[in-house]
Amino acid sequence: MVYDRDALFGKLRDLLGPKGFSTDPTALVPRLSDWRGRYHGKAAALLSPASTAEVAGIVALCAAAGAPLVPQGGNTSMVGGATPDASGTSFLVSTARLNRIRSLDAAAGIAVCEAGVILAELHEQALAVGRRFPLTLGARGSATIGGLVSTNAGGTQVLRFGPMRALVLGLEAVLPDGSLFEGLAALRKDNRGYDLRQLLIGAEGTLGIVTAASLRLVPAIGERAVAWVGVETAPKAMTLLRHLEATMGEAIESFELVPRSALELVLAHVPGTRAPLATPAPWNVLIEAVSPMSAPGPEPLLYEGLRSALETGIAADAVIAASEAQAGAFWRLRDSISEAEKQDGPATKHDISVAVEAMAGFMTEAAAAVEARFPGTRVNAFGHLGDGNVHFNVRAPEGAGPAWLEAEGEAVSQYVHDLVTRAGGSISAEHGIGQMKLAELGRLADPARLHALRAIKQALDPKGIMNPGKLVPFEASSHPGESGDL
């Protein structure tokens, strides 16, 4: 793709002014690598629009010139989704200045947020009016609404409320030709054909730039009870979930699996953390139960459920947090796993799902198979067991350096993804495809899925300007904007 750089720079500068257009390396460079430090790119300039109209102007100018655009929110992508390629031709579009909560209607339970609103900010503002946005994750201090929408993020409350797809009631987005999709109205019923809102959710910036979203709010909780429970095996953790659901129903909002290896990584690398149980258990589960405002708190029921689980041998040990501070400390252990693993050394990351009831057995067998096939590796599988989704990460053998990842990483990932595919599962449960899993999606997806992905991309972005090289695996000769063939 070749465009007249000076002419386009001039037009974009005129459109955005000095606050919205920058080639300053101090602003640009930190945005050119991903959170894990695995991907590094270059960009022609950083564009920071402050309104939907400016986004539409950027996309129209770049579409006319054939210049690629890479949308970026908090840059916490786990798959290199917001990192441009190395050509230096792309414009990085930051949503940092699109940061207004346009409205917060407590009675209707709807917040209209611009794309750059940070998740933690929405949590805070919703709480101030007695509501909450029921999706959270470890990166909530940086991840933005636009990024969460565009990755269909999951997190630690999916069990009860579902991922972003279930929480986005309306969307506003600029499509690849610069036109505006005005879909913010939170319609409960709308049958005007293909659902563009759902198409844009999880599109990873390949079909346009999300500028705002109408989001579902639910009533704020009254009380919560947070427990750390030791179990002997992953299947027993699943039995525990079903046992607690039978006694507490929807009160169980989070059920996160933490293997002993993950807890040990956190204790080793994250200052101020301590093990919740006196005797380490092979597996741990972090459970959060909640109650509505002015209803009895959930702790007595959780206590009862855990007591019977201990008596019947489902659980091995358990502690309920005695204070909000202790509850926060338990959550910190869970939320710090990725950071601790990153500090510890190389690991291949896999974000996999299989049918919910099959996951505990699958991950146990898959871990044994991987460790036998790649001697010395250590599987660290943690996360959202109740959703059938774990982060099945494979740590390098003790003492191995970054070279291990180069030499073995691809073979390990292919092995894991083959096992998942054979089990009818997904190689991307919540992080998306980005650039990290592009080749694997191309290798493993069935032809119908691949054809549909390519056809949709080609139809909506024929010039291939929106986040090229992400999500949609094209054969070398058939990228949009090149031959045009599917």
User: Which residues, 369 to 428, sit near Zn ion by CB under 5 A?
Assistant: 383
Instruction: Please report the sign of the dihedral spanned by the C-alpha atoms of residue 203, residue 208, residue 210, residue 214.
Output: negative
Provide, rounded to whole angstroms, the least separation between the CB of residue 384 and Zn ion: 6
Provide, rounded to whole angstroms, the least separation between the CB of residue 36 and ligand FAD: 8
115 binds ligand FAD per the rule CB under 6 A: yes
Structure tokens at 445: 């997806």
- 11 vs 437, beta carbon nearer ligand FAD: 437
- Residue from 78, 215, 231, 394 touching ligand MLT (CB under 6 A): that is 78
Q: Which does 337 bind (CB under 5 to 8 A by kind): ligand FAD, Zn ion, ligand MLT, none?
A: ligand MLT
- 351 vs 461, beta carbon nearer ligand MLT: 351
Provide, rounded to whole angstroms, the least separation between the CB of residue 235 and ligand MLT: 21
Separation between Cα atoms, residue 146 and residue 201, nearest integer Å? 9
Provide, rounded to whole angstroms, the least separation between the CB of residue 391 and Zn ion: 6
113 binds ligand FAD per the rule CB under 6 A: no
Provide, rounded to whole angstroms, the least separation between the CB of residue 342 and ligand MLT: 8
**Binding-residue pattern over the window 346 to 375 for ligand MLT, x denoting contact by CB under 6 A:** -----x------------------------
Residue 300, Cβ density class (10 Å: 0-12 exposed, 13-18 middle, ≥19 buried): exposed
Q: Which residues contact 420 (CB under 8 A, 6 or more apart)?
A: 350, 352, 353, 354, 366, 426, 427
338 binds ligand MLT per the rule CB under 6 A: yes
- 138 vs 468, beta carbon nearer ligand MLT: 138
Q: What is the DSSP letter of 472?
A: S
Q: Which does 75 bind (CB under 5 to 8 A by kind): ligand MLT, Zn ion, ligand FAD, none?
A: ligand FAD
Q: What is the DSSP letter of 250?
A: G
* 395-410 burial: b if 16+ Cβ within 10 Å, else e: bbeeebeeebbeebbe
Residue 232, Cβ density class (10 Å: 0-12 exposed, 13-18 middle, ≥19 buried): middle
Helix (H) or strand (E) holding 290: strand 283-292
Separation between Cα atoms, residue 392 and residue 335, nearest integer Å? 16
Closest by alpha carbon to 465, among 150, 89, 42, 45?
89
Residue with tokens 């405002």: 293
Question: Which residue, judged by CB position, is nearest to ligand FAD in the bound state?
Answer: 147
CA distances from residue 101 to 111, 171, 359, 460 in whole angstroms, order as listed: 7, 14, 38, 29
CA 231 to chain centre: 27
User: Which residues, 195 to 234, sit near ligand FAD by CB under 6 A?
Assistant: 204-205, 209-210
338 binds ligand FAD per the rule CB under 6 A: yes
User: Which residues, 438 to 467, sit near ligand FAD by CB under 6 A?
Assistant: 467
Binding site for ligand FAD (CB under 6 A): 35, 70-78, 81-82, 95, 115, 137-139, 142-144, 146-148, 150-151, 153-155, 204-205, 209-210, 338, 430-431, 434, 467, 470
Binding site for Zn ion (CB under 5 A): 383
Binding site for ligand MLT (CB under 6 A): 78, 138, 337-338, 351, 383, 391
